[in-house]
Structure 1
Amino acid sequence: MASGRYDTVVFDADGVLVAPTDPDTSRLAIEKAFRTFGVDRPQREHVDALVGVTPEELARICETYGVAPETFWPERDRHLVRAQRRALHRGQKPLYNDVATLQSLGTDRDLAIVSNNQHETIEYVLGFFGVEGLFETVYGREQTVEGLRRKKPNPYYVERALSDLGVRNERVLFVGDSNCDLAAASEAGVDSAFLRRSHRAEYALDTRPTHEISSLTEVSDLRPGTG
């Protein structure tokens, strides 16, 4: 491997490789999940919270409706998986054009994905766009409460990806578009690049990333610790 550059690049998926899922798509899927348990009119704040919920919030919300989190969460995810597949087929969740640069980036680097989306969804997205061959290892979360606990900012899946690849942390870059991505990278002991696409134009960062970029075309020029 060449010196002075990253040998491994790990990417978030939504907002980095593919457009984020519309929050309204997620809300409708969550409302369908509630109806499975006989709840026709869940509180709007609960539906909103369940778009990006913590395990503690999930437990409190489920207690309100008398449903076990371990029962509700897989049903919520099942509806989200279906909704995101429909969004893909309707052209509502496109692949970003600059993902094409990964073809050349991956010729002499290992590429991976670690996403907070369901693993089933990430695999479907990659197959839908025919880019699954670009990545050496891919992790989305399991559709369980334990998978929810393990999602970023928890470094669990990042560390699993690095273990799969057998790489040195100082030569790894994580590219993400959220504070939880930056936190997971920091906890895993790897450099980070914050990708500020248009949907993140006004996004405030809690911590300073190693790098900040506006396109994936910039990744190949980044060097360890030189942000």
Structure 2
Amino acid sequence: MTSQQYDGLLLDHDGVIVTLCSQHVLRDAALGAFADAGVSDPNPDDVDTITIRVSEDELCAVAKRYDVTPDRLWQCREDRIETTLRTETIAGRKAPYDDVACLERVEVPRGIVSNNQTRIVDFVLREYGLRGQFGTIRAREPTRASLREKKPNPTYLEAAATDIGSSNPLYVGDSESDVVAGQRAGFDTVFLRREHNATSHLETEPMADLESLEAVLELLNDS
């Protein structure tokens, strides 16, 4: 652990603040994106490829197979995903975890760092009355270029720390890419275990491996 006291808290959004959307719902959105781009019968593997954790190279390869521009396919995908996640949020199927309430007791500035779209993260937080708790949101614009800045690239993390005026933030994520991004940014990083990643094995060791935001709060208070 860094000896200096933490002067900020950065958190991933999906899987840390709010629950994940079901895989089949996201896949349906990706399938709809192909239809919007004029592709009527895409290969199921290609649908899976653009559903989540998409790289720019993967997107370009898929688009080429169907003679669609990558920008067109990606815009269709982003718009479908946004509509889907708005619907899931309004229906209450994408909702804050119970322990998010403890963040009201955090005394240092807070920010969100996500690989999701900024417009989605902002909508979800506002829908549940949480937007005011965070001084910044650093996430993706719905463009192909944004794929180059996703975590594990530390760009969003570094920008969020600057936004909240923090030189030594604690970062909380739920994936290997979060841990890698945190280390690349030089920030102590907590791997937060939820139901979806309870048994995950990490190749990269986080500073701490915790099971609740309450435990994160204790770590902050002890720093």
Per the shorter chain, which TM-score range? over 0.9
Counterpart of 1:41?
41
Structure 2: tracts of 5 or more residues without a match: none
* Residue 175 (str. 1) matches residue 184 (str. 2): no
Q: Distance in 2 between matches of 1:222 and 1:186?
A: 18
TM-score (norm 2): 0.94
1:155: how far off?
A: 0.8
Question: Identity over aligned residues, as a percent?
Answer: 38
Counterpart of 1:149?
148
Q: CA RMSD in A?
A: 1.7
**Aligned residue pairs, count:** 220
Matched ranges for 1:76-95 at <5 A: 76-95=77-96
Q: Distance in 2 between matches of 1:164 and 1:38?
A: 41
TM-score (norm 1): 0.93
Counterpart of 1:161?
160
Q: Distance in 2 between matches of 1:14 and 1:206?
A: 21
1:195: how far off?
A: 0.3
8 Å contact from structure 2 (residues 6, 169) kept in 1: yes
Partner deviation per Cα, 1:5-57 (whole Å, 9 max, x = no partner) = 32211000000000011111111111111111221211111111112211111
AA partner of residue 152 (structure 1): K
1:99: how far off?
A: 0.3
Q: Which sits farther off after the overlay, 121-130 or 49-58? A: 49-58
1:166: how far off?
A: 2.7
1:151: how far off?
A: 0.9
* Residue 209 (str. 1) matches residue 206 (str. 2): yes
What SS does the corresponding residue of 2:171 show, helix, strand or coil?
strand
Counterpart of 2:9?
9
Counterpart of 2:116?
117
8 Å contact from structure 1 (residues 5, 222) kept in 2: no
Counterpart of 1:138?
137
Structure 1: tracts of 5 or more residues without a match: none
1:149: how far off?
A: 1.2
Divergent runs of 4+, >3 A: none
Counterpart of 1:200?
197
AA partner of residue 66 (structure 1): D
What SS does the corresponding residue of 2:15 show, helix, strand or coil?
coil
